[in-house]
Amino acid sequence: MATVVFVGCTGGMGSILFRKVNDSAATFLSQPIRQLICIDYFRDEAAQRALKASCSPSIARVDTFHWDASVLSSTKTVTDQIGVAIGQHGSIHHVILTTGMGFHGRLEDMDVEGSHATLSKLMNVNAIGPSLLLQFCAKRMPQSQQKQHTSSSSSSKPQAAAPTMLVLSSYSGLIGLPHRAAYCASKFALNGYLEGIAAEYPAIRYVIICPTSVATNFRDNWKKQLHSSDQKQQAPPAVEVNEAQLTVEQCVDGIWNALTKQPHPKSPGVHYVILPGGKTEVAYVGVRMPWGIGNAVRQRVYRQASAKL
């Protein structure tokens, strides 16, 4: 019986992925979900009640907690709430985090104050808040693989997956791209912190999802957050994106495949999953090649990324 923490379950790809987890609650990663802890920026208590009511009846306990990733006190509150929910000696078996904030803006259009406002917000929402929450959860996840039994009665049962931490990052966290320097910085930071966590908690399976452009309103949401009343004069002008490479359904299917099939659910360690794969995976490897090859590939990536703006 597993305890699962799902962060970012009400919007965008997170809501679709949440439904998949909920629908498979009885057999999720070869282990039924006993407790589901749902964390999000809930609008109100009614939204929390609605989410709880939508959960599978096979789940014995569902908790819903409000979280503002940009506020340290909110992160402290939600980690305290998780601790109470699982109990002093309880464990977290799997964590899924899909929260984040997008951004597109040309550096030439941004002054120092605007860049500071943008970078600070993105770092808090995309890197610092999630990193602190994931660090808290990692400490409470099983730190050693259970020994496999060889008896005939137990060998017929599917072996439970390694404790898994799936995080929705971005291709922009692997390669710096034009018109999104602050976003790239926040995702690079998130990926780096995750690798640091993995170095100290090696028994966990870290699945870091890095999609390219996805057809969602993700890029528009940042306008609401940055163009708040206290930042109207500082927020940089928007850059419209006219093309998306992945549909939401394609991206969620790729995430689900990575979570449940590849990389192997029983294999701990860090696993980067680039969506849609293919040429984007080759480009990621190519930019790290020596002797000028890497720079040549990087320039090609820049041109392709700029063409979509």
Q: Is residue 46 part of a domain?
A: yes
Q: Is residue 152 part of a domain?
A: no
DSSP state letter for 4: E
Give the CATH number for residue 141: 3.40.50.720
Is residue 56 within 8 A of residue 22, CB to CB? The reply is yes
Question: For 90-133, how does the pLDDT look when each residue is reduced to its tens digit (9 = 90+)?
Answer: 999 999 999 999 998 889 999 999 999 999 999 999 999 999 99
> Is there a cis peptide before residue 263, judged by omega within 30 degrees of 0?
yes
137 and 205 co-located in one domain: yes
**Closest residue by Cα to residue 187 from 269, 134, 128:** 128
107 and 195 co-located in one domain: yes
Question: How high is the pLDDT of residue 244?
Answer: 52
Q: Is residue 153 part of a domain?
A: no
23 and 66 co-located in one domain: yes
d(CA 264, CA 234): 46
Query: Residue 226: is it exposed, middle or buried by C-beta count within 10 angstroms (0-12/13-18/19+)?
Result: buried
The yes-or-no verdict on residue 235 having pLDDT over 90 is: no
Q: Is residue 85 part of a domain?
A: yes
Which pTM does this prediction carry? Answer: 0.87
* Domains of the chain: total: 2
Backbone angles phi and psi of 134, in degrees to 5:
-65, -35
Q: Is residue 94 part of a domain?
A: yes
Report the 10 Å Cβ neighbour count for 272.
Answer: 18
Question: For 130-179, how does the pLDDT look when each residue is reduced to its tens digit (9 = 90+)?
Answer: 999 999 999 999 987 554 333 444 455 667 789 999 999 999 999 999 99
Domain of residue 25, residue span? 2-146+158-277
- What is the per-residue burial (b if ≥16 Cβ within 10 Å, else e) of 45-67? eeebeebeeebbeebeebbbbbb
- Per DSSP, the three-state class of 90 is coil
Average pLDDT over residues 206-217: 85
d(CA 240, CA 119): 19
Question: How high is the pLDDT of residue 153?
Answer: 45
Report the 10 Å Cβ neighbour count for 296.
Answer: 12
31 and 141 co-located in one domain: yes
73 and 176 co-located in one domain: yes
The yes-or-no verdict on residue 26 having pLDDT over 70 is: yes
225 and 302 co-located in one domain: no
Question: For 169-207, how does the pLDDT look when each residue is reduced to its tens digit (9 = 90+)?
Answer: 999 999 999 999 999 999 999 999 999 999 999 999 999
Q: Is residue 260 part of a domain?
A: yes
Q: Is residue 240 part of a domain?
A: yes
Q: How far is CA 104 from CA 115, 196, 274, 298, in A?
A: 12, 28, 21, 19
248 and 269 co-located in one domain: yes
- Residue labelled with tokens 């794969």: 277
